[in-house]
Amino acid sequence: MANTSDIKNGLCIKFNDKLYQIIEFQHVKPGKGPAFVRTKMRQIETGKVLDNTFSAGHKIEPVRIENREYQYLYQEGTEYVFMNNENYEQVNIPAKMIEKPGFLVEGMICNILFHAEEETPLVVELPISIISEVTYTEPGIKGDTATNAMKPATIATGAEIRVPLFINTGEIIKVDTRTGLYQERVKS
């Protein structure tokens, strides 16, 4: 067991029987009353952010989390199969543990957070951006580029995103996996 003086950014703790990661914290010593620690925590499984205040000296339960690199292989039903490149061990991950499974590309290297004591996967983190081909989009109309209007497009992974009017079917683009937004056209 640890206490509030051990809180730091990135620390994972068990709070209300759920795993949380400390995003930011602040030790506060008011002129009147006892000191306390104000925290912003993200629940590991759902990604929801929670503001919480701990009184000084409050006991917390730290949890050891390991970040491991795995390669995405293929989808099997509702699960996704990943392989550890060091020992070739494969692990099946349910879709609910992946924030945006529509951006997974075969062969992609992803980070998987594991609960170190239980050896169970908690969440899959995709790379910040992917490069993919636009497989379908409506053709842009010449002269429609004065505004920064967007149109729907489907990329090679099957995900639907919005792209600028000048992007055509067959072009290679870079997409931000966190927001699902078009970033730029990639020169081949």
Domain boundary among 12, 31, 62: 62
Same domain, 48 and 83: no
Q: Which of 160, 108, 105, 111 is nearest to 137 (CA)?
A: 160
Write the DSSP symbol of residue 148.
-
CATH at 34: 2.30.30.30
- State the pLDDT at residue 87: 92
The residues of the chain scoring below 70 in pLDDT are: 141-147, 188
Q: Residue 18 contacts by C-beta under 8 Å, 6 or more apart in sequence?
A: 43, 44, 45
- State the pLDDT at residue 82: 95
> 80 with 71: CB under 8 angstroms?
no
Mean pLDDT of the residues in the chain: 88
Provide the domain limits for residue 30: 2-62
Same domain, 15 and 40: yes
Same domain, 157 and 174: yes
| pTM for the structure as a whole | 0.74
Same domain, 136 and 116: no
10 Å Cβ neighbour count for 123? 21
- State the pLDDT at residue 166: 85
- Assign residue 170 a region (left: φ > 0; alpha: ψ between -120 and 50; beta: otherwise): left
Same domain, 46 and 57: yes
CATH at 112: 2.40.50.140
Tens-place pLDDT, residues 6-54: 888 888 999 998 989 898 999 999 888 899 999 999 888 777 899 999 9
- State the pLDDT at residue 118: 86
- State the pLDDT at residue 143: 62
- State the pLDDT at residue 153: 92
Same domain, 21 and 53: yes
| Residues 25, 128, 100, 176, Cα dihedral to 10° | 110
Q: Quote the number of domains for the chain.
A: 3
- State the pLDDT at residue 120: 87
Q: How far apart are CA 16 and CA 60, in angstroms?
A: 11
> 22 with 7: CB under 8 angstroms?
yes
Q: How far apart are CA 58 and CA 103, in angstroms?
A: 41
10 Å Cβ neighbour count for 35? 12
